[in-house]
Structure 1
Amino acid sequence: MIDAVIFDIGNVLIEWQPERHYDREIGEERRRALFDTIDLHAMNDVIDSGGPFKETIYATAERHPDFQHEIRMWFDDWIEMARPAIDHSVRLLRALRTKGVPVFALTNFGIDSFAYAQTHYDFLSEFDQAFVSGHMGVIKPDPRIYQMVEEACGIAPDRLLFTDDRADNISTARARGWQAHLFDGPQGWANRLVADGLLSPGEAK
């Protein structure tokens, strides 16, 4: 039996493909040079761990003058990178809540970037509880963040169902006894929710 469903956000509810945005804006060749020179995803991990949003990005840009403009785009164009919403996943979130199933978020997201995203995506304010790494000071797949969720919600691990697009995040959840689904598209997730008796096929469309 499942007592709560937990959604990751990036690439589950909102597409998160920074490289795609950079390819469109500066071209694939310049993007490859940028990402080969600077680990922008590691920079983003600092933000997701609670570091300041703009300041972290702009400080990185100052250290790399050859790519200063492109690095600043991570902040300046951020909402353009965090799009579009994955509509079917949003419908599943709302269908679960309509059925009275508690729905949580467990997401690697910065404090300010999450607040910014909430101004563009109303469904990010619809969770029963949102566990945001920036506020928690730890990011997935560190087991501590899963433990913090368990302690906060008071639900036994085997009664939690979690979906995430990253295999390492799913592996840690399963190691803690959570039920988990590796997200590879909303239809597969819908099928899992139906199989577990949380939604009917009609509700999962």
Structure 2
Amino acid sequence: MRDIETVLFDLGGVLVDWDPRHLYRKIFTDPAEMEKFLSEVCHPHWNFLHDKGALSFANSIPDLQHRYPHYHDQIAAWNDRWPEMMKGPIERTVGILEDLKARNKVRLFALTNWSAETWPHALERFEFLNHFEGILVSGQEKLAKPDPQIFDLVCARFKLNPRETLFIDDSEKNIQQAREMGFMTHWFRDPVKLQREMIEDRLF
């Protein structure tokens, strides 16, 4: 059993079911072409640069449209229809968060790689974000996981002790970095495993 004072949640992939395929399955009739588009045009690193605050849609969308004119409308949809990439909350994980909030045994925070431009969509849609004492958003800070500086920043801003903090994330790279910095970690795969581990830690 670990001595946990704080739980630090990732959002996308842990509490929010975000995936560009939720949108682009509506746009592409050919799944192979969709995957090619998402790996070569609006690819993960391109999205990461928005999350990091290094790119803005005002510049990045026209640039891609110039380079891939045959995908003009599909590229525009990334910004114009972005909310459709959020299928909804991952209900069972949200239930875990709500249980933790109700028991009031630990402090609750979030650390998310999320574009500052699209963050308002999340705030408008997900009431459970109000359960957090604080949320650090990568795009607002111009830093993104797994950069050690963003972990230092979340600790400084919210006065967290890594050795008393359980960090939950679905990215192995982020988990590895957090572990190297002294955090307790849970590499998220499904809510059932997370809940079982929290029961072992007597958080429930």
Structure 2 unaligned spans of 5+: none
Give the superposition deviation at 1:21. Answer: 3.1
From 150, 165, 169, the equivalent of 2:170 is 165
From 25, 30, 33, the equivalent of 1:30 is 33
Q: Which residue of 2 aligns with 1:202?
A: none
Q: Deviations over 1:3-34 (max 9, x none)?
A: 11011011100112213432343131321331
Q: Which residue of 2 aligns with 1:12?
A: 14
Q: Which residue of 2 aligns with 1:156?
A: 161
Q: Deviations over 1:72-107 (max 9, x none)?
A: 111122111112210111111111111112111010
For 2:126, give the aligned amino acid: Y
Q: Which residue of 2 aligns with 1:141?
A: 146
Q: Which residue of 2 aligns with 1:40?
A: 43
Evaluate the alpha carbon distance shift between residue 47 and residue 125 of structure 1 in structure 2; reply closer, same or farther with a 3 A threshold: farther
From 96, 99, 105, the equivalent of 1:95 is 99
Equivalent position SS for 1:32:
helix
Q: Is the contact made by 1:90 and 1:123 (CA closer than 8 Å) also made in structure 2?
A: yes
Q: Is the contact made by 2:65 and 2:75 (CA closer than 8 Å) also made in structure 1?
A: no
Q: Which residue of 2 aligns with 1:203?
A: none
Taking only aligned residues, the RMSD between alpha carbons, in angstroms, comes to 1.7
Equivalent position SS for 2:186:
strand
Q: Deviations over 1:53-84 (max 9, x none)?
A: 54145234432212111111111221111122
Q: Which residue of 2 aligns with 1:179?
A: 184
- Off by >6 Å, runs of 4+ in structure 1: none
Q: Deviations over 1:138-181 (max 9, x none)?
A: 11111111111111222221100011111101000000010000
Q: Is the contact made by 2:10 and 2:111 (CA closer than 8 Å) also made in structure 1?
A: yes
Q: How does 1:77-88 map to 2 (within 5 A)?
A: 77-88=81-92
Alpha-carbon distance between aligned partners in 1 of 2:60 and 2:92, rounded to the nearest angstrom: 32
For 1:102, give the aligned amino acid: R
Give the superposition deviation at 1:198. Answer: 0.9
Alpha-carbon distance between aligned partners in 2 of 1:176 and 1:66, rounded to the nearest angstrom: 45
Bigger mean CA deviation after superposition, 54-63 or 140-149? 54-63
For 2:17, give the aligned amino acid: E
Report sequence identity in percent.
29
Alpha-carbon distance between aligned partners in 2 of 1:12 and 1:192, rounded to the nearest angstrom: 15
Q: Is the contact made by 2:6 and 2:165 (CA closer than 8 Å) also made in structure 1?
A: yes
Equivalent position SS for 2:17:
coil
TM-score by length of 2: 0.90
Q: How does 1:57-72 map to 2 (within 5 A)?
A: 57-63=60-66, 64-72=68-76
For 2:132, give the aligned amino acid: F
Q: Which residue of 2 aligns with 1:120?
A: 125
For 1:10, give the aligned amino acid: G
Alpha-carbon distance between aligned partners in 1 of 2:185 and 2:159, rounded to the nearest angstrom: 18
Aligned pair count reads 199
Equivalent position SS for 1:173:
helix
